[in-house]
Chain A
């Protein structure tokens, strides 16, 4: 039967899986352009509110601080769609490659 040949071939090939996160954590391949956790650079922001207008899940809230209007991000609502990064005229928002984004407390997931 053709499956018997396949079985023998796979016996010598080794495991197809890794025991993440206990072993081989560094073997996880993270490609360029992965849509991970949000990063915000205050010095480049001009307060135009475009990110607030395009966000589909109400992640962005506009508040005031000493320099003017700026967004505050509630990261537990983020869908990682990257629309805010696309429309930002000064590239003040960036989606990094960090994919381990769990939290136990909603207050910790607010990005100021």
Chain B
């Protein structure tokens, strides 16, 4: 490295969705030229622990891998074990699984929109969106008994059924949420605060997205149209119609709009499930010990493609279970969006916004950031509030329209 560059470590408790990762940025002046990451601060040893519990005891453990996309992990796990038995759950259970999955997606995207408002400096949007999020949490609590970790699916189907009172409450809730989401879709693209912090920030070209194996909204905001629900349909997604959302601008603004549009699509899918719910049982009974086999299961979590792999050895405990959460796949594209290349420059002030752009999901902590400037021999510590104040009053760059050679 030349003499004028210096390294800035950010983390492990860093300023975005309060997730612990340790970043080291190599900076030249204000712009970042290289980014490196160390993770593992919230490593819970779940894969090793799953080898010492039975398949049924593992369901609450899998649920607690992630707080917000817990339904995706549970559906992926129960599907995986059902693939080992080579048996499918009843059709009503598959529709109920799609229902709870789309409710979870609406919840996750609304939560993320509020956090984006908070990161950008627009706290009013944050408060409004999180007030509307209470509607969806009350619906989930009425259906499953708990606001966040739902415990709704099990091996062979689902555990609870939906009653007519809950169904009518859900339709009313969907109407209110649709009106509120349309309102956010009108306000967000024209608001100058959000536009200044999100247009042409965090560029990821389609070629880079393919080579670095990006998943989820991060991939669909770079013109690609890959979605597990349409490429590899599971549960009832081959019958419930929906549109794959993708935007062309490859920046942070596209990621916001992809998630807002996906919320509207999820509301339509919930309504379709309620209208066309088949009758029948909700669960089949399966024996304790699956046959010796291997299985791979993929699910579209709110953050991207979630993939699980299981191998059984004839006992009632798994021999190997692998969970690949979507945030791990998005780490390499994240480092690429934070590197200045060609005509595209990334500033230190963009760090919190870019970190929120992949919707990171690891754990929850919050502390301070350490800056090191070896050329001047200075070290100083900023708390999260100080870094945020610095980012909010930093100079707005003018929109050029021709970035990174596109």
**Cβ contact within 8 Å between A83 and B56:** yes
Q: How far is the CB of B91 from chain A (nearest CB, A)?
A: 22
**Cβ contact within 8 Å between B146 and A35:** yes
**Cβ contact within 8 Å between A56 and B60:** yes
**CB-defined contacts of B149 to chain A, threshold 8 Å:** 79
Q: Which among B58, B145, B191 is the interface contact of A56 at CB below 8 angstroms? A: B58
Give the interface size bracket for B toward A. Answer: 20 to 34
Q: How far is the CB of A20 from chain B (nearest CB, A)?
A: 13
Binary interface encoding of chain B residues 44-68 relative to chain A, with 1 for a CB under 8 A from any of its CBs, else 0: 0000000001001111110010000
CA distance A62 to B149 in the complex (A): 27
- In chain B, positions 54-113 with a C-beta closer than 8 Å to chain A are 56-61, 64
**CB-defined contacts of B128 to chain A, threshold 8 Å:** 6
Binary interface encoding of chain B residues 109-138 relative to chain A, with 1 for a CB under 8 A from any of its CBs, else 0: 000000000000000100010010010001
**Cβ contact within 8 Å between A55 and B141:** no
- In chain B, positions 146-165 with a C-beta closer than 8 Å to chain A are 146, 149, 151, 159-160
**CB-defined contacts of B146 to chain A, threshold 8 Å:** 34-35, 80
Binary interface encoding of chain A residues 72-93 relative to chain B, with 1 for a CB under 8 A from any of its CBs, else 0: 0000000111110010000000
Interface status of A16 (Cβ within 8 A of chain B) = yes
Q: Which among B64, B145, B159 is the interface contact of A34 at CB below 8 angstroms? A: B145
CA distance A7 to B183 in the complex (A): 13
**CB-defined contacts of B264 to chain A, threshold 8 Å:** none
Interface status of B394 (Cβ within 8 A of chain A) = no
Q: Which among B59, B60, B160, B187 is the interface contact of A3 at CB below 8 angstroms? A: B187
**Cβ contact within 8 Å between A35 and B138:** no
CA distance A82 to B60 in the complex (A): 10
- In chain A, positions 1-58 with a C-beta closer than 8 Å to chain B are 2-3, 6-7, 16, 29, 31-35, 54-57
**Cβ contact within 8 Å between B53 and A56:** yes
Interface status of B186 (Cβ within 8 A of chain A) = yes
**Cβ contact within 8 Å between B124 and A56:** no
Q: A6-B128, A16-B131, A56-B53 are in contact. Are A33 and B60 (CB under 8 A)?
A: no
- In chain A, positions 63-112 with a C-beta closer than 8 Å to chain B are 79-83, 86
**CB-defined contacts of B160 to chain A, threshold 8 Å:** 33
Q: A35-B151, A80-B146, A82-B151 are in contact. Are A54 and B138 (CB under 8 A)?
A: no
Interface status of B228 (Cβ within 8 A of chain A) = no
**CB-defined contacts of B64 to chain A, threshold 8 Å:** 79
**CB-defined contacts of B53 to chain A, threshold 8 Å:** 56
Q: Which residue of A lies closest to B134 (CB)?
A: A16
Q: How far is the CB of A65 from chain B (nearest CB, A)?
A: 26
Q: How far is the CB of A48 from chain B (nearest CB, A)?
A: 15
Give the interface size bracket for A toward B. Answer: 20 to 34
**CB-defined contacts of B384 to chain A, threshold 8 Å:** none
CA distance A2 to B185 in the complex (A): 12
CA distance A79 to B149 in the complex (A): 10
**CB-defined contacts of A80 to chain B, threshold 8 Å:** 146, 151
**CB-defined contacts of A79 to chain B, threshold 8 Å:** 60, 64, 149
CA distance A96 to B313 in the complex (A): 39
Q: Which residue of A lies closest to B132 (CB)?
A: A16
Interface status of B387 (Cβ within 8 A of chain A) = no
**Cβ contact within 8 Å between B142 and A31:** yes
- In chain B, positions 195-225 with a C-beta closer than 8 Å to chain A are none
**Cβ contact within 8 Å between A56 and B138:** no
Q: Which residue of B lies closest to A53 (CB)?
A: B54
- Most central of B57, B134, B186, B187 by chain A CB within 10 Å: B57
**CB-defined contacts of A81 to chain B, threshold 8 Å:** 59-60, 151
Q: How far is the CB of A52 from chain B (nearest CB, A)?
A: 11
CA distance A35 to B147 in the complex (A): 10
Q: How far is the CB of A46 from chain B (nearest CB, A)?
A: 21
CA distance A34 to B141 in the complex (A): 7
CA distance A16 to B128 in the complex (A): 10
**Cβ contact within 8 Å between A35 and B57:** no
**CB-defined contacts of B151 to chain A, threshold 8 Å:** 35, 80-82
Q: How far is the CB of A15 from chain B (nearest CB, A)?
A: 10
**CB-defined contacts of B61 to chain A, threshold 8 Å:** 56
Q: How far is the CB of A59 from chain B (nearest CB, A)?
A: 11
Additional A-B contact list (7), CB under 8 Å, known A6-B128, A54-B57, A81-B151? A3-B187, A16-B134, A31-B138, A31-B145, A54-B56, A56-B58, A79-B149
10 A/B residue pairs, CB under 8 Å, sorted by A: A3-B124, A3-B187, A6-B128, A6-B183, A35-B145, A56-B57, A79-B60, A82-B159, A83-B60, A86-B159
Listed in ascending order, the chain B residues whose CB lies under 8 Å from chain A are 53, 56-61, 64, 124, 128, 131, 134, 138, 141-142, 145-146, 149, 151, 159-160, 183, 186-187, 191
Q: Can you list the 10 inter-chain pairs with the closest CB atoms, starting with the nearest?
A: A56-B57, A35-B145, A81-B60, A56-B60, A31-B142, A33-B145, A16-B131, A81-B151, A79-B60, A34-B145
